[in-house]
Amino acid sequence: MKSVQKWIIACIFTVGIIAIVQIQEQKGGTSQLRTIFTQGKDIQMVREFVIAQLPRDYRPELIPVAATPKDSMIPTMATYESMQPYEEGVLVSYTTPIQVTAREDGIILFTGHTRHTGKTMTVLYDGGDIVTYGFVENFSNLPYTAVGENDLIAEVQPGSMFVKIERAGKNLEPSAVTEWMTDVLY
């Protein structure tokens, strides 16, 4: 059923119940429907009754979701051309498009646009590192989404990408960022 049809049926159902209650109470009595709809247990019973009236073969519309397999021909973060300090992190230069994958399991804390790093994504990894990727082209996830190890999280076009790694509340030095990228990534 479409959303509009559901609302129309719900409105008709509500108006019908209100009308029946009013008709029953005009004769000076109390309506049994009013007592049914004022107690929580009875509302659950009515809900189950209504659901039982729906066709058994009714299935909600499913939207297929497919994961994008990692293409082994696309270079990773470890294949950078040069690296230089920038703001509180480093700018890493690439001559080919790359796919940024999650280092380990974690959660995406932020995706958006910032003044100094353009399209930016921040990921909190289970190991405690907070990594910010800036100047990315496309995000693969939204904020507060869990990611698994080697999941695609962003794509970068040829040019520069900003990387900042916070460990134990302190930013890693550029040499430590180099080690982090080569140790963890392909």
pLDDT at 185 over 70: no
Q: What is the mean pLDDT of residues 79-102?
A: 87
User: What percentage of the chain carries pLDDT values higher than 70?
Assistant: 70
In the DSSP assignment, the letter for residue 56 is T
Instruction: Grade residue 7 by pLDDT with cuts at 50, 70 and 90.
Output: confident
96 pairs with which residues across the strands? none
Structure token digits, residue 1: 């059923």
pLDDT at 130 over 90: yes
What gap in Å lies between CA 88 and CA 167, rounded to an integer?
A: 13
Question: 79-83, 100-104, 151-155, 167-171: lowest mean pLDDT where?
Answer: 79-83
User: What count of other Cβ atoms lies within 10 Å of the Cβ of residue 75?
Assistant: 17
3-class DSSP state of 15: helix
Question: 7-21, 40-54, 136-150, 152-166: lowest mean pLDDT where?
Answer: 40-54
C-alpha angle 102-122-169 in degrees, rounded to nearest 5? 105
Q: Specify the amino acid at residue 10.
A: A
Quick one: pLDDT at residue 58? Answer: 55
Q: What is the mean pLDDT of residues 56-66?
A: 52
Instruction: Grade residue 4 by pLDDT with cuts at 50, 70 and 90.
Output: confident
pLDDT at 133 over 50: yes
pTM of the prediction? 0.59
What gap in Å lies between CA 2 and CA 8, rounded to an integer?
A: 10
What gap in Å lies between CA 147 and CA 163, rounded to an integer?
A: 18
| Alpha carbons within 13 A on the beta-carbon side of 79 | 15
Q: What is each CA distance from 144 to 53, 68, 89, 106, 140, in whole angstroms?
A: 38, 20, 23, 10, 12
What gap in Å lies between CA 98 and CA 142, rounded to an integer?
A: 19
Quick one: pLDDT at residue 106? Answer: 92
Q: What is the mean pLDDT of residues 71-81?
A: 64
